[in-house]
Amino acid sequence: MPNRLAAATSPYLLQHADNPIEWWEWSEEAFTDAARRDVPVLLSVGYAACHWCHVMAHESFEDPETAQQVNAGFVAIKVDREERPDIDAVYMAATQAMTGQGGWPMTCFLTPAGEPFHCGTYYPPAPRHGMPAFRQLLDAVTTAWRDDGARVRGAAGEIAARLADNAAAVLPASGIDASALDLAVVTLGEQFDAQSGGFGDAPKFPPSMVLEFLLRHHERAGSDEVPPTVALTCERMARGGMYDQLAGGFARYSVDAAWVVPHFEKMLYDNALLLRVYAHLARVSEDPLARRVADETAGFLLRDLRTAEGGFASALDADTEGVEGLTYAWTPQQLREVLGDEDGRWAASLLTVTDAGTFEHGTSTLQLLTDPDDAQRWARVRVALLAARDARPQPARDDKVVTAWNGLAILALAEGGAALGRPEWVTAAARAAELLLERHVVDGRLRRSSRNGVVGAAAGVLEDHACLADGLLALHQATGEPRWLTAATGLLDLALDRFADPERPGSFFDTADDAEALLHRPREFTDNATPCGASALASALVTASALVDEPSRYRDAAEAAVRSAGFLAEKHPRFAGHWLTAAAAMARGPLQVAVVGEEGDPAREALLAHTRRLAPGGTVIVAGHPDTPGVPLLADRPLVQEAAAAYVCRGFVCDRPAGTPEELTASLLLQP
């Protein structure tokens, strides 16, 4: 019989709707029930594509005896971290403080007041590797609560107070000027893995935002060659097993330092951020590998993650039928069965599929370490292998539409589509934007997610407002349509009014001032797998300041926000990639280009295409008829002798309008 989760909108919660545990969704009623029964709360946090979440669910949450123990002694609450990042942030801070590490599934024991007194992650069904069995832990918690409840509650209150104090702390303010940007590049170079690309050791995550910053710095420096920190990293990621050589798209991370074996879940946010990087690299370097990967990654988004309503689903699962990588791994024999002996052996050599295997149980991930010597043969083999793989069991799809991650996808598709001449990407971005503005805005406020067109109850957090605004600003530039600018500035105004810390200029909370009160009001400074809400807001504010009539409010707010992250950017640039990207755009003004002319005029289109190909990353570009209503960047910029022209400006200073691509080149490449 289904439990209370049967009515949830989250696919992760629905995965647990048939558990024998009497799960609650996060609610005031759940904590009231815990107080009435005088029992602790078991809080379990995870997400739909999480491998170890599935493992713990199968081992413990589906077990009748474990469920009986949980139901008798606890109020059990299940939370999707992607639907409620605010709850996840609060209790992840507690988990990391208590254990020195974090991860999912996250398992926390709370008082009926929501105060944590014991936290951890995955617990096995039997003692293993120094970890207690989950049921042993339940016994211990129940005994402590029954026999020493006052001490447990007192300790929980002290922990909650310390967590609140930690959450109130902010970094010392420090600007990110040109010298700070240069220093960040040097520091990143010292941390660079010159053999395999990327930064640090295994597990190795795609450093998308850092790469975007390094590309912008490369353009700002005017150097001829793309730095190896970018070129080698992008090549190794694209040729390794973390990239899907058959269907495009990236897995979440590599378990090794050489990008060979991925953690197989495919996340929307990773692929959106990486699409932006590879599209930028393709534009800057005209590298055919970068262009191919950008095309294929966009194809993955449009084919495998797009929902019926026009948004983008959150993820593809790491597991297939409970086995990680089942869909994706191959043996030499399997290749020969699909392709025949000759092509099978050729494909095994090309794709590094060995008898010993590079993954588990003698299977291998597919790598394309060199381009094939016979492109037509590879095209035929690839089609055959993909068809055979499509006939295998497939990973589940988490089809909830998360506002922030769709904002990242809109940004990448609009920006990349405009730069690489792919109008269908821009069209897809516009459709997703329409969905978010139609369904995710309820009574004037933004919601976090929807599924099957039905919006969830969770309020939008700072990253939702900021990432969607940034995406809408890119869409405005790609299309010239005023409606996207209007919607973006509305979101930015709301973010500045509702999320700013009134006591610390430039600092922002992740939840609104009227959001549900948790143990403390979370805020994140660092860029991790995705931009933190504050850095995403800073980026959008920088762009918006170049697009509106009165830029000072947005510019001042952006400068204050970037100052709040200067210490992080100096000491730990790997975790400040999006901050550095925003600062790099700010250092250029940002650069603004208004291309004016009649729609369909070949001269205007030539100037616009040249601008999009040559303008450095972070440049604000809008094309349209002079004085188009609702597009301030085009105001007071007339045609020149009745002909199309491009106006290049830095801050409040503009060059003489350019009428030819050659004239435009000189203005675009002028260093600030």
SS3 for 54-113 is HHHHHHHHCCHHHHHHHHHHCEEEEEECCCCHHHHHHHHHHHHHHHCCCCCCEEEEECCC
Candidates 265, 142, 210; CA nearest to 580 is 210
* Mean confidence (pLDDT) of the chain: 95
Asked if 202 contacts 254 with a C-beta cutoff of 8 angstroms, the reply is yes
Higher pLDDT, 207 or 173: 207
Confidence at 671, pLDDT banded by 50, 70, 90: low
How far is the C-alpha of 361 from the C-alpha of 364, rounded, in Å? 9
Is residue 300's pLDDT more than 80? yes
Residue that has been written with the tokens 């950008």 in this structure: 294
Residue range(s) in the chain whose domain bears CATH number 1.50.10.10? 178-317+398-587
**Average pLDDT of the segment spanning 391-396:** 96
**Average pLDDT of the segment spanning 501-519:** 95
At the topology level of CATH, where does 178-317+398-587 sit? Answer: Glycosyltransferase (1.50.10)
Is residue 302's pLDDT more than 90? yes
Helices 552-564, 482-498: axis angle to 10 degrees equals: 50
Is residue 163's pLDDT more than 90? no
Confidence at 169, pLDDT banded by 50, 70, 90: confident
Please, what CATH class does the domain formed by 591-668 belong to? alpha beta
Helices 533-545, 577-587: axis angle to 10 degrees equals: 20
Instruction: Return the structure tokens found at 617.
Output: 């990353």
pLDDT at 654: 84
For 595-650, write each residue's pLDDT tens digit. 999 888 999 999 999 999 999 999 999 999 998 899 999 998 999 988 999 999 88
Instruction: Return the structure tokens found at 664.
Output: 């435009």
One-character DSSP codes across 511-577 = S-TTSPP-SS-----S-SSS--HHHHHHHHHHHHHTTSS-THHHHHHHHHHHHHTHHHHHH-GGG-H
320: three-class secondary structure by DSSP: strand
Candidates 609, 550, 618; CA nearest to 583 is 618
Is residue 532's pLDDT more than 90? yes
Asked if 240 contacts 260 with a C-beta cutoff of 8 angstroms, the reply is yes
Candidates 393, 481, 467, 394; CA nearest to 436 is 467
pLDDT at 134: 96
**Average pLDDT of the segment spanning 146-161:** 92
Instruction: Return the structure tokens found at 379.
Output: 């095209």
Residue that has been written with the tokens 């009160």 in this structure: 517
pLDDT at 409: 98
Neighbours of 263 (CB within 10 A): 19
**Average pLDDT of the segment spanning 100-106:** 93
Distant-in-sequence, close-in-space partners of 441: CB < 8 Å, separation ≥ 6: 447
Higher pLDDT, 130 or 315: 315
pLDDT at 168: 80
For 403-433, write each residue's pLDDT tens digit. 999 999 999 999 999 999 999 999 999 999 9
For 445-461, write each residue's pLDDT tens digit. 999 999 999 999 999 99
Asked if 470 contacts 411 with a C-beta cutoff of 8 angstroms, the reply is yes
**Average pLDDT of the segment spanning 263-283:** 97
**Average pLDDT of the segment spanning 71-84:** 97
SS3 for 123-165 is CCCCCECCECCHHHHHHHHHHHHHHCHHHHHHHHHHHHHHHHH
Q: Write b or e for each residue in 425-438: b if 16 or more Cβ atoms lie within 10 A of its Cβ, otherwise e.
A: bbbbbbebbebbbe
Neighbours of 483 (CB within 10 A): 16
Residue range(s) in the chain whose domain bears CATH number 3.40.30.10? 4-168
Q: Which strands make up the sheet holding 401-402, listed edge to edge?
A: 401-402, 449-451, 454-455
Instruction: Return the structure tokens found at 4.
Output: 């209370």
Q: Write b or e for each residue in 162-175: b if 16 or more Cβ atoms lie within 10 A of its Cβ, otherwise e.
A: ebeeebeeebebbe
For 558-596, write each residue's pLDDT tens digit. 999 999 999 999 999 999 999 999 999 998 889 999 999
pLDDT at 87: 97
Is residue 1's pLDDT more than 80? no
Residue type for position 48: A
Q: Are strands 41-46 and 75-80 parallel, antiparallel or unpaired?
A: parallel
Candidates 345, 352, 324; CA nearest to 264 is 324
Residue 592 belongs to what H/E stretch? strand 591-596
Neighbours of 137 (CB within 10 A): 17
Is residue 220's pLDDT more than 90? no
Is residue 224's pLDDT more than 80? no
The CATH architecture to which 4-168 belongs is 3-Layer(aba) Sandwich (3.40)
pLDDT at 672: 54
Phi-psi label, residue 383: left if phi above 0, alpha if psi -120 to 50, beta otherwise:
alpha
Confidence at 653, pLDDT banded by 50, 70, 90: confident
Is residue 551's pLDDT more than 90? no
pLDDT at 550: 87
Cα distance from N-terminal residue to C-terminal residue, the chain:
66
Asked if 144 contacts 152 with a C-beta cutoff of 8 angstroms, the reply is yes
Residue 330 belongs to what H/E stretch? none
